[in-house]
Amino acid sequence: MISEQARARIDEAISKLPARRGALLPALHIVQEELGHISPETARELGELFEIHPVEVMEVVSFYNMFYAEPQSRHHVYVCTNLPCSLRGARVLYEQLEAHLEVDENGNTADGRIHLGHEECLGACAYAPMMRVDDRYCEDLDLDKAKRALEELE
Ligand code: FES
């Protein structure tokens, strides 16, 4: 259930925009920060708040890879496998990390600590290969450097 604090932040976002619906993306960020993902129940609540059908909320959730419809691991690790990073070994690095972390078919570790996934270009091609660990960029990677970055995660 969306908290009163989150609702207040959403109301503030709505007040800054000419159309209520324009605040849906900020609202999804606020709610996901609080609840970890956007469940069907949350989509129903947001639908009421934005006067749209819950399916429209879930359409937005499924369009952007930064929003999650399912409970997630505590940390998100995305290896950029776009062309410049791949030319510098990102796809091999991704496979090495898959094996090192022993992720399941959805990219999750058994302990719920890490979700590993691919990412499109993150604008750091000059530092390829790179990956995003939550909100932090890790660049000029090799397997040892990537492992060290992941060891810091709780
Ligand atoms: S291709 Fe990897 S950051 Fe641009």
Task: Choose among 111, 110, 128, 142: nearest CA to 119.
Answer: 128
Q: Token pair of 10, please?
A: 């959403």
Residues lining ligand 1, CB < 6 A?
80, 82, 84-85, 121-125, 128, 130
On whether residue 69 sits in a domain, the answer given is: no
How many domains does the chain fold into?
2
| pTM reported for the whole predicted model | 0.70
Q: Which atom of ligand 1 is nearest to the CA of 129?
A: 2
Query: Ligand 1 pocket: which of 79, 119, 122 to mutate (most atoms <8 Å of CB)?
Result: 122
103-118 per-position pLDDT tens digit: 999 899 999 999 999 9
**Mean pLDDT for all residues in the chain:** 95
What domain range is 28 assigned to?
4-63
Residue 81, domain CATH? 3.40.30.10
Please tell me whether residues 11 and 56 are part of one structural domain. Answer: yes
| 82 class by beta-carbon count within 10 Å (0-12 exposed, 13-18 middle, 19+ buried) | middle
pLDDT, residue 126, reads: 97
On whether residue 41 sits in a domain, the answer given is: yes
Please tell me whether residues 118 and 82 are part of one structural domain. Answer: yes
Cα gap 98→78, rounded to integer Å: 11
pLDDT, residue 71, reads: 87
Query: Ligand 1 pocket: which of 79, 93, 121 to mutate (most atoms <8 Å of CB)?
Result: 121
Q: Is the distance from CB of 120 to CB of 66 less than 8 angstroms?
A: no
Q: Which atom of ligand 1 is nearest to the CA of 122?
A: 3
Task: Find the helix or strand (DSSP H, E) in which 137 lies.
Answer: strand 136-138
Whether 52 has a pLDDT exceeding 90, the answer reads yes
Query: Ligand 1 pocket: which of 81, 82, 127 to mutate (most atoms <8 Å of CB)?
Result: 82
